[in-house]
Amino acid sequence: MIGALCYAELGTCIPKSGGDYAYIFEAYGPMPAFLFLWDAMMIFVPSTNAIMGLTVASYILQPFFPDECKIPESALQLLAAFLICGLTYLNCFDVKTTTKMQNVIMFTKIAALVLIIVVGIVWMALGNVENFEGPFQDTQTDPGKIAVAFYSGIFSYAGWNYLNFMTEELRDPYKNLPRAIYISLPIVTAIYVLANMSYLAVLTPQQMIASEAIAVTFGTKTLKMWSVIIPIMVAISAFGGLSVHIMTSSRMCFVGARNGHMPSFLSHINMNKFTPVPSLVFLCILSLLMLVVSDVYVLITYSSIVESFFIMLTVSAVLYFRYKHPNMERPIKVPLWIPIVFVIICAFLIIIPCYVAPYEVGMGVLITAAGIPFYYFGVVWKDKPIWVQESIKRFTVTCQKIFLAAKEEKED
């Protein structure tokens, strides 16, 4: 929540789409912003899309497989790929349908979580509270392992900063951006905490770890013959979350390309639907490639550690602007202790895992560092040979023809 308050200040004093990318660019310059964009395109966005696609696929397929049968990995990957491609198509060519679908799914998501919460409360009211006895039994107090464990928990709440990716598309962002943050975040946090409490009331930690789809196991144990309701509702909910993530992340890619930090064809929009079709298709392809990674938790660790660093960098921009530009117009101005506390928490979550999960941290650093040569080749090196420029131009024109896209025209 305190991080969201910092994003509310940044979003109102720098009303640009792109979220973290735009704020890092304004505060620290092009190279850190490019590296954030590089990591977002290579890790954050495609891995999150892949994980969410696999989650939806898992809840759709789980009712067709008995508890003793494991869902074939190929079936999960194929269905996840179909879902990602289908939602990408909808976001490319039928924005109105996508928007209406999001509204319906939002109510379905809330209904599913409320149902889980009510069932959990009734379960506890009947005296089934044994799972809360000795809550810290068999747990560890190693700070490093606690920090790494945080990443799986944080991933559930990922997306709290994504509204800032579409600031330019909001009506009256000075009013509606902070309002959306202040209202939605406490509600979502409360619902998620209560839903997890219900899961813990009904299922033991061992059952939760063994389950491939926790909501299915929860429904089977509590609702019996009506248990199929929960996986359907959760699948619809996760489906909506995937759609929103595909839509918002494509805008970050689009803004980065508009600033010259990604290939120029990604800054083009479809001439009929006015959507960033090249960016959407590009991210779809990367997401499909991520589906071949077998261990989902490795994806979460890779993405969360690096993303935490850049979120810390983004929030530190609040402190930077306060020092460098004290007279900047700030419709919202949070107390100074809020960004300081948030930066300290992020630093803990970044530094401590270095000795607990050095391989995962090292891979994150390696992927980030791999973006530096691309930065110098694509952004810094202006006088490229004629044949390179011509090749890029031909490729861009080909993409324009395929996607019926062109560069947006700025109004005077």
**pLDDT tops 60 at residue 76:** yes
Taking the mean position of all CA atoms in its chain, how far away is CA 105? Answer: 18
**pLDDT tops 50 at residue 371:** yes
| 185-198 as b/e: b if 16+ CB within 10 A | beebeebeebbbeb
Domain boundaries, the chain: 45-293+371-407
Lowest-pLDDT range of 149-158, 177-186, 196-205, 328-337: 149-158
pLDDT in tens, 337-348: 999 999 998 888
Helix runs in 62-172, H state only: 73-93, 95-125, 143-156
Rounded CA separation 309/135 (Å):
31
Tell me, what's the pLDDT at 412? 46
The DSSP bridge pattern shows strands 405-407 and 268-270 to be: antiparallel
pLDDT in tens, 268-307: 988 888 888 999 999 999 999 888 875 656 666 666 778 8
**pLDDT tops 90 at residue 313:** yes
Tell me, what's the pLDDT at 123? 92
CATH architecture for the domain at 45-293+371-407: Up-down Bundle (1.20)
pLDDT in tens, 188-226: 889 889 999 999 999 988 888 887 778 888 888 888 777
pTM for the model stands at 0.81
